[in-house]
Copies of this chain bind each other. A is one copy, B any other.
Amino acid sequence: MTRRELLDGIVKGCMIASLIDAPSVFEGGMAMAQETEKKNAQAGPAYSGMNQIKPLRFDPTKLKGLSEKLIVSHHQNNYSGAVRRLNQIQQQIGSLPKDAPPYQMGSLKREEIVATNSMILHEFYFDNLGGDGKASGTISNLISSHYGSAGTWEQDFRRTGMSLGGGSGWVILNYNYRDSVVHNYWAADHTNSLAWGVPLLVMDMYEHAYAIDYGANASGYIDAFFQNINWDEVNRRAEAVQRR
């Protein structure tokens, strides 16, 4: 497959995507994709905008206390929208004129990290849902030894979530490579993230994660989140970290 064929594929993929679920917004990106195809053909995947949307791995009708409507809207609009937007942004960065003022580069790069982290964190979030909420194994040991007890850790995680209620953000239990300790980190928007580590458990605190079901009741949402944690997935992540 030549690069030309690859890029033809991308443009066609964009067209199909735009026909399916985001036509009006996507038109601008479509025109852009075609115009800049020639330019990006000389570049590599950093500018190709080829990120794919990942489907939910669990049945959205089966969560406890989180409705199908909420989960499907969250996945189709907020997550999928971030992936599509990221693809547009990467193509636009790759085709920015050489004499464009620096602020244009900066503003696009900011949009890129916003959309990239939104994509990544949503994928971790959805993938750590769909379980029975019962922690055990590697992650339980890490939490207990690094926070003193599972209860102390859970209180810290929940309070960090509550501090974000009514606004936006994420709570991320990360394995921090600097000190080899797990920490619950606060993020007030998609850009805030540990610089060197691996997310183990991710809780979305944007209001789109709960307002449809819980209104302003962030605490009720956090309870529901805990009941649906897929600790097997969290353990897979923790074990992958320890194997490296």
B116–A88 touching, CB < 8 Å: no
Chain B residues with CB below 8 A from A28, complex form: 97, 99-101, 104
One of A132-140, A158-166, A227-235 at the interface: A158-166
User: Among residues 96 to 134 in chain A, which have CB atoms less than 8 Å away from a CB atom of chain B?
Assistant: 97-113, 115-117, 119-121, 123-124
Taking the full assembly, how many copies of this chain does it contain? Answer: 4
Highest count of chain B CB atoms <10 Å: which of A27, A74, A99:
A99
Residue count of chain A within 8 Å CB distance of chain B: 99
A105–B160 touching, CB < 8 Å: yes
Which residues in A have some Cβ–Cβ distance to B below 8 Å?
24-29, 31, 42-47, 50-51, 69, 73-74, 77-78, 81, 85, 88-89, 92-93, 97-113, 115-117, 119-121, 123-124, 144-149, 152-153, 155-156, 159-160, 162-168, 172, 176, 178-179, 181-189, 191-196, 198-199, 206-208, 211-212, 215-216, 244
A-B CB contact pairs (8 Å), 20 listed: A24-B99, A25-B102, A26-B101, A28-B97, A42-B152, A43-B149, A45-B146, A46-B183, A103-B115, A105-B162, A106-B164, A113-B187, A116-B178, A116-B195, A168-B206, A187-B191, A188-B189, A193-B194, A207-B207, A212-B215
**How far, in angstroms, from A211 to B215 measured CA to CA in the complex?**
8
**Looking across the interface, which residue of chain B has its beta carbon closest to that of A119?**
B178
B199–A196 touching, CB < 8 Å: yes
Known: A51-B179, A163-B105, A207-B208. A195 touches B46 (CB 8 A): no
Closest Cβ of chain B to A2, distance in Å, is: 15
**Looking across the interface, which residue of chain B has its beta carbon closest to that of A166?**
B78
